[in-house]
Amino acid sequence: MTKPLSLKQSVLAVISIIGGLMLMAAAIDPGLPLGYWDQPSAKVPSSHNWSELEKDLRPEACAQCHAAQFNVWKKSLHAHAYSPGLVGQFPGQGLAYANDCLVCHAPLKEQLYTDSTDMDDSILLRLKHAEGFDADADYDVNDPDAKRLPLRHTGVSCAVCHVRNGDRFGPPPRVSGAVGKQDTPAHGGFTATKDFEQSQFCASCHQFPDYMAINGKPLENTLTEWKNSSFPDKGVTCQVCHMPDRAHEFRGIHDPKMVKKGLTFSLTQQKNSVYFSIASTWIGHAFPTYVTPKVIVEAEALNGKGSIIQHQQWEIIREVAYQGDGWKELRDTRIMPGETRQFLLNPLPTDARSVRYRVRVIPDNFYKGIYESLLSDDLTAVAGAHIRKANEQTAKNDYLLYEEVITLNQAH
């Protein structure tokens, strides 16, 4: 039971509610400035009178005050988007080609290559720092060693999403929920907008325009897939799943735990058949959303000695290929949000005693093909070194997502 309010208390409560409403009505969400994702620049204009630390756009500098975001983000693929597999494709392609790729992998004006020499030097530097970006939150930003890697090497960095012309933009503060300009002690305050909480925020890099469709669907179609699912009505945005409680995780197909969380498996026998099903219960887009991963489902019937006497395999993939005059879709067997897919073994061999199901994930299936074909070409020494490294890494990314054995009852 809550204590009833005295008359004075209730009058005050009403006034404070009205006051709150008025404040909320007064603050208009400015949204993201027009052209936020259009040739973005984070550079601090000279008019700002800030400390060196506040002007420093590298994530190590943000980390001095925002360690929580930094420590999680630095393990994400966003932090590693300036990758060997990317830059290894640049030598011989020219500046314009490379910068077109950087518009998603390292898009700030301060990250793009200024000329071919800048590009060649940067690709070489990336090779010297083979592990890529690896600073700690307690890095001494004044240490000359800490400055060794330019902003470009931090890929989809803090400033890419949060800074334009020196000014910070972020979601409404958790407690006040206020929008508009916020006066806070550092970097001249910041602008709060609910646009940070919208799925649309992720679109400039995770959704291609419709005119680039192949068989009706662009190569990247994640936002449209999400819009066609039941998640928008439930208020479940990209951020809800990929930034839980605002944590900068961005985990996806490369993370077995994340993938398991999105799916529900079931394995049962009914008479002469074994039913295995995968339901997409917590994925806001196709599983998987891109043309790059491949998921393999395997069923093996085993006899009393444990030998395999029957084998069947299915592939979950959107497969595209460049053929003659353009891209063609070869097949699309991906599982849509809310869908349940059956993988049936029927009829079972009479001497089968058990059935084993396995689900394997090859997150970088498409890139494996690209790297193999690049390596069979005449690559420059630097390009070759990058692509070999990328190829080794993609092989390590494969994993077993699920394995279960069902012992058959003798009815079959």
Min dist. Cβ of residue 393 to ligand HEC (A):
8
Min dist. Cβ of residue 298 to ligand HEC (A):
19
Q: Which is nearer to ligand HEC, 181 or 271 (CB)?
A: 181
Instruction: Quote the CA–CA distance of 341 and 158 in Å, as a whole number.
Output: 39
Min dist. Cβ of residue 349 to ligand HEC (A):
34
Q: Which is nearer to ligand HEC, 250 or 301 (CB)?
A: 250
Q: Which is nearer to ligand HEC, 80 or 356 (CB)?
A: 80
Q: Which is nearer to ligand HEC, 274 or 402 (CB)?
A: 402
Owner of token pair 């994993």: 399
Q: Which is nearer to ligand HEC, 241 or 383 (CB)?
A: 241
Structural tokens at position 80: 């590693």
Min dist. Cβ of residue 40 to ligand HEC (A):
8
CA distances for 31 relative to 162, 235, 270, angstroms: 13, 19, 55
Q: Which is nearer to ligand HEC, 91 or 363 (CB)?
A: 363
Min dist. Cβ of residue 246 to ligand HEC (A):
4
Instruction: Quote the CA–CA distance of 145 and 122 in Å, as a whole number.
Output: 17
Min dist. Cβ of residue 140 to ligand HEC (A):
14
Q: Which is nearer to ligand HEC, 302 or 387 (CB)?
A: 387
Min dist. Cβ of residue 216 to ligand HEC (A):
18
Please check whether residue 59 is in contact with residue 73, taking contact to mean a CB–CB distance below 8 angstroms.
Answer: yes
Q: What is the largest CA-CA distance in the chain?
A: 85
Q: Which is nearer to ligand HEC, 185 or 304 (CB)?
A: 185
Min dist. Cβ of residue 19 to ligand HEC (A):
22
Instruction: Quote the CA–CA distance of 327 and 71 in Å, as a whole number.
Output: 39
Cβ–Cβ contacts within 10 Å for residue 222, how many?
21
